[in-house]
Structure 1
């Protein structure tokens, strides 16, 4: 069978893959939700859902650096990657030896497309259809909930020292827009570094969102950033609901309601 991934690359598979390596945490969680736990043989050190996954499976590295010898010993039928999470060099090195599916996701519709891809590749179409239907229902409900809410100007930070925010062409920026938030750094590319001086000069900033990942912001950082931007409301948010585009989307919209 020939499959096309989200970069338009052709993947040839002789049979349904039984040995899977996932190099993307949110996609690892998705595989488990589709009933493929027993087929996963390798994951990254950042694959934290379900919490037991790293004790059950071989850790082959991180998302930016992998152990090719460990991967070779696992003899995978397919390796799952993502354009943003994994490097081009990793994908090119792996695809010389194994079928590699690369996702490329900047919207909910693209996330649902990826889920449907997995349903076809892993013979889990029924499970994939049920999951995409659930996510669609939740999003429609949230869209109705949010439609009359006033828009708020927000900054979403993912790192400290240096302060780094979310800019355009990111899945998080898309999810901010789904929430009716106006990203004050939405005209900047990807993940810009923001100086304290620049942040202090932003007018009419309603909220600053401090993500739980990749930097683990906590309550002690609220006071720190309030000293820079005293008029903005500062909220700690669960970054997984803003940046994980697998089965976690089924619960994301209920979480978003709590922010409003």
Structure 2
């Protein structure tokens, strides 16, 4: 379901006082509703932002908001040069709350899938405004990034990227032939896990012409023995470079399943994990690359 930012301006007597009598109450406070329907009060626009979501960190810089970012996770990789001097706040699942509080952020950006609920609740309980996204489809990307851009007072800066993204989504849908390729996209091994229902990556592959075999198994990221996955008889197997760092060496695990079409026809493809799983600036390229890959079956997705 799509969502949009809800910003309700508060009366001036509830606005922030700047400390300068001549500028008192220059900025009114606002109540914002995030993608989970949570209300948070903040000053608009936030000037000190911490991002706990690698893909959203990249998006912030891509729309010219990098100068507001004061802290990121250890897994925030791009844009590498711009992130070099920023404080690192541990992982997405175990952020350093004390360091976050010490940075005095106006807003922390989190994601329902990337970050644990208990971390969001703990930060919120300490008085920090936390805005949570919940991107589970390609359509959610322009909708939720547009909402976040409004919260950040950056709707105009984000608009060109969002227009291009909506156009790419529409073009991909128009190009659909109706012929789908049975596909599996793994995200982990030992245990084996694949992209399943209600996920951004799964919806991306659907738009690009894949029939995701993992939808026959329970869960958003089904976990099963490799033999169970191979019984789904995929014609294409994707091994992304993250979150598990799949490489050409992992192809050996499929040798015992020589009768499976993807194995028999050598359609096991190592691909760019960021392109598959990071919504945002990469989505337009992802739609093109995976549409071509799925149509060809044997092409390799370009790594960064």
Length-normalised TM-score, structure 1 = 0.93
Q: Does 1:76 align with 2:110?
A: no
- CA–CA separation in structure 1 for the residues paired with 2:80 and 2:168: 25
- CA–CA separation in structure 2 for the residues paired with 1:56 and 1:139: 35
- CA–CA separation in structure 1 for the residues paired with 2:288 and 2:177: 17
RMSD, aligned α-carbons: 1.6
The answer for the alignment partner of 2:183 in structure 1 is 154
Match of 1:101 among 131, 134, 154: 131
- CA–CA separation in structure 1 for the residues paired with 2:157 and 2:66: 14
The answer for the alignment partner of 1:207 in structure 2 is 236
Q: Over residues 61-110 of structure 1, what are the superposed CA-to-partner deviations in whole Å (9 max), with x where a residue is unaligned?
A: 11000111211221100000000100010000011221110001111222
Match of 1:39 among 68, 78, 86: 68
- CA–CA separation in structure 1 for the residues paired with 2:219 and 2:258: 22
- CA–CA separation in structure 2 for the residues paired with 1:28 and 1:162: 29
Q: Does 1:218 align with 2:250?
A: no
- SS of aligned partner of 2:269: strand
Give the C-alpha shift of residue 181 in structure 1.
0.8
Structure 2, unaligned stretches of length 5 or more?
1-29, 296-304
The structure-2 alpha-carbon separation of the partners of 1:108 and 1:202, relative to structure 1 and needing over 3 Å to count, comes to closer
- CA–CA separation in structure 2 for the residues paired with 1:30 and 1:86: 17
The answer for the alignment partner of 2:288 in structure 1 is 254
Q: Does 1:227 align with 2:256?
A: yes
Q: Over residues 182-221 of structure 1, what are the superposed CA-to-partner deviations in whole Å (9 max), with x where a residue is unaligned?
A: 1111132111222133234334x21111111101111111
The answer for the alignment partner of 1:10 in structure 2 is 39
- CA–CA separation in structure 2 for the residues paired with 1:136 and 1:80: 23
Give the C-alpha shift of residue 53 in structure 1.
4.1
Structure 1, unaligned stretches of length 5 or more?
none
Match of 2:161 among 121, 131, 145: 131
**Contact residue 78 and residue 99 of structure 1 kept, 8 A:** yes
- CA–CA separation in structure 2 for the residues paired with 1:42 and 1:175: 29
- CA–CA separation in structure 1 for the residues paired with 2:57 and 2:282: 11
5 Å-filtered alignment, 1:161-200, equals 161-187=190-216, 188-200=218-230
Q: Which has the larger displacement, 250-259 or 130-139?
A: 250-259
- CA–CA separation in structure 2 for the residues paired with 1:257 and 1:173: 13
Greater RCO structure (CA 8 Å; 6+ sep): 1
Length-normalised TM-score, structure 2 = 0.80
Give the C-alpha shift of residue 244 in structure 1.
1.1
Q: Which has the larger displacement, 207-216 or 19-28?
A: 207-216
Q: Does 1:241 align with 2:275?
A: yes
- CA–CA separation in structure 2 for the residues paired with 1:33 and 1:100: 21
Aligned residues: 258
Q: Which has the larger displacement, 104-113 or 82-91?
A: 104-113
